[in-house]
Amino acid sequence: MHRFIKPLWVTLLAACAHTAPPPAPPTAAATPADTAPNQAWWKEVVVFQIYPRSFRDTDGDGIGDLRGITSQLDYIKSLGVDVVWLNPIYQSPNDDNGYDISDYRAIMSEMGSMADFDAMLRGMHQRGLKLIMDLVVNHTSDEHRWFEQSRSSRDNPYRAYYHWWPAEKGTPPKRWSFFDEEGSAWRYDSTTRAYYLHYFSRKQPDLNWENPQVRREVYAIMKFWLDKGVDGFRMDAIPFISKDTTFPPLPAEYAGNYVAYYAKGPHLHDYLREMNQEVLGRYNDLNVGEGGGVTVDDALKFVAADRHELQTFFEFDIVDHWGRRPSNFLYADSGNRSLVALKNIFNRWDSVYAQSGWGTVFLGNHDQSRMVSRYGNDAPPYRKASAKMLHTLLLTMRATPYVYNGDEIGMANIRFTDIRDYRDLMTINYYNRLEREGGDLREFLASQAEVSRDNGRTPMQWAADTNAGFTRGIPWIRVNPDYRTVNVAAEERDTSSVLHYFRRMIKLRKAEPALVYGRFQLLDRANPDVFAYARSLNGRTLMVALSFSKAGGRTSVPAGYSAGRIVISNLAGSPLRGGQLLLEPYQAVVLELQKN
Ligand code: NOJ
Q: Using CA atoms, how far apart are residues 255 and 293, in angstroms rounded to an integer?
A: 14
The pLDDT of residue 335 is 55
Q: Band of the pLDDT at 25, cuts 50, 70, 90?
A: very low
The protein residue with its alpha carbon nearest to ligand 1, atom 11, reads 99
Query: Does the beta carbon of 134 lie inside 6 Å of ligand 1?
Result: no
Query: What is the secondary structure of 498-512 as a DSSP string?
Result: HHHHHHHHHHHHHH-
Tell me, in angstroms, the distance from the centre of ligand 1 to residue 81's CA: 24
Q: How confident is the model over 217-244, as a mean pLDDT?
A: 98
Asked whether the predicted pLDDT for residue 9 surpasses 80, the reply is no
The protein residue with its alpha carbon nearest to ligand 1, atom 6, reads 99
* Total residues belonging to the chain: 596
Among 201, 367, 427, 455, the mutation site with the greatest number of ligand 1 atoms within 8 A of its Cβ is 367
Per the CB < 8 A criterion, the answer to whether 250 and 261 are in contact is: yes
Q: How confident is the model over 512-525, as a mean pLDDT?
A: 97
Query: What is the secondary structure of 155-200 as a DSSP string?
Result: T-TTGGGB-EEEGGG-SPPP-B-SS-TTSBSEEEEGGGTEEEE-SS
Query: Does the beta carbon of 146 lie inside 6 Å of ligand 1?
Result: no
| Active-site hit among 44, 110, 290, 407 | 290
The pLDDT of residue 319 is 84
27 versus 256: the higher-pLDDT residue is: 256
The pLDDT of residue 527 is 98
The protein residue with its alpha carbon nearest to ligand 1, atom 10, reads 99
Query: What is the secondary structure of 439-464 as a DSSP string?
Result: --HHHHHHHHHHH-GGGGTSPP---S
The pLDDT of residue 521 is 98
Asked whether the predicted pLDDT for residue 14 surpasses 80, the reply is no
Ligand 1 atom nearest residue 365's Cα: 3
- Give pLDDT tens digits for 170-198: 999 999 998 998 889 999 999 999 999 99
Angle ∠(251,256,261) on CA atoms, nearest 5: 50
> Mean pLDDT of all residues in the chain?
91
SS3 50: strand
Tell me, in angstroms, the distance from the centre of ligand 1 to residue 582's CA: 42
Q: How confident is the model over 505-510, as a mean pLDDT?
A: 98
- Give 289: exposed, middle or buried? Use CB within 10 Å, 0-12, 13-18, 19+: buried
DSSP H or E stretch at residue 397: none
Tell me, in angstroms, the distance from the centre of ligand 1 to residue 9's CA: 9
CA distances to 35, 36, 37, 307 from 25, rounded to whole Å, are 9, 10, 13, 30
Q: Check the CA dihedral 410-85-320-351 and report its sign.
A: negative
Query: Does the beta carbon of 96 lie inside 6 Å of ligand 1?
Result: yes
Contacts of 107 (CB under 8 A, 6+ apart): 66, 89, 90, 91, 113, 114, 116, 117
The pLDDT of residue 125 is 98
The pLDDT of residue 8 is 32
Q: Using CA atoms, how far apart are residues 283 and 294, in angstroms rounded to an integer?
A: 26
The pLDDT of residue 451 is 87
Q: Could you give the count of Cα atoms lying within 13 Å of 95 in the half-sphere of its Cβ?
A: 18
Query: Does the beta carbon of 313 lie inside 6 Å of ligand 1?
Result: no
- Give 545: exposed, middle or buried? Use CB within 10 Å, 0-12, 13-18, 19+: buried
Q: How confident is the model over 2-17, as a mean pLDDT?
A: 33
Instruction: Work out the percent of the chain whose per-residue pLDDT is above 90.
Output: 84
Tell me, in angstroms, the distance from the centre of ligand 1 to residue 236's CA: 6
Query: Does the beta carbon of 99 lie inside 6 Å of ligand 1?
Result: yes
- Give pLDDT tens digits for 238-264: 999 999 999 999 999 887 789 999 999
Q: How confident is the model over 159-169, as a mean pLDDT?
A: 98
Asked whether the predicted pLDDT for residue 525 surpasses 50, the reply is yes
Query: Does the beta carbon of 136 lie inside 6 Å of ligand 1?
Result: yes
Asked whether the predicted pLDDT for residue 17 surpasses 50, the reply is no
21 versus 173: the higher-pLDDT residue is: 173
Tell me, in angstroms, the distance from the centre of ligand 1 to residue 472's CA: 29
Ligand 1 atom nearest residue 179's Cα: 7
- Give pLDDT tens digits for 364-394: 999 999 999 999 999 999 999 999 999 999 9
Q: How confident is the model over 39-61, as a mean pLDDT?
A: 98
Asked whether the predicted pLDDT for residue 117 surpasses 90, the reply is yes
The pLDDT of residue 36 is 66
Asked whether the predicted pLDDT for residue 511 surpasses 50, the reply is yes
The pLDDT of residue 321 is 78
DSSP 550: T
Is 270 annotated in the active site? Answer: no
Is 367 annotated in the active site? Answer: no
Query: What is the secondary structure of 285-328 as a DSSP string?
Result: -EEEE--TT--TTTHHHHH-GGG-S-SEE---HHHH-SSEEEET
CA distances to 40, 540, 569, 570 from 580, rounded to whole Å, are 37, 20, 16, 18
Q: How confident is the model over 148-156, as a mean pLDDT?
A: 98
DSSP 474: -
Tell me, in angstroms, the distance from the centre of ligand 1 to residue 167's CA: 29
Q: How confident is the model over 553-569, as a mean pLDDT?
A: 97
Q: Band of the pLDDT at 234, cuts 50, 70, 90?
A: very high
Ligand 1 atom nearest residue 100's Cα: 11
Q: Band of the pLDDT at 337, cuts 50, 70, 90?
A: confident
Q: How confident is the model over 451-460, as a mean pLDDT?
A: 95
Query: Does the beta carbon of 236 lie inside 6 Å of ligand 1?
Result: yes
Lowest mean pLDDT among 137-141, 263-267, 431-435, 509-513: 431-435
Per the CB < 8 A criterion, the answer to whether 586 and 550 are in contact is: yes
Per the CB < 8 A criterion, the answer to whether 136 and 236 are in contact is: yes
Q: How confident is the model over 447-457, as a mean pLDDT?
A: 91
The pLDDT of residue 323 is 52
DSSP H or E stretch at residue 251: none
Is pTM beyond 0.85? Reply is yes
Lowest mean pLDDT among 444-448, 514-518, 584-588: 444-448
The protein residue with its alpha carbon nearest to ligand 1, atom 3, reads 367
Q: How confident is the model over 400-423, as a mean pLDDT?
A: 98
Among 6, 144, 200, the mutation site with the greatest number of ligand 1 atoms within 8 A of its Cβ is 200
Asked whether the predicted pLDDT for residue 32 surpasses 90, the reply is no
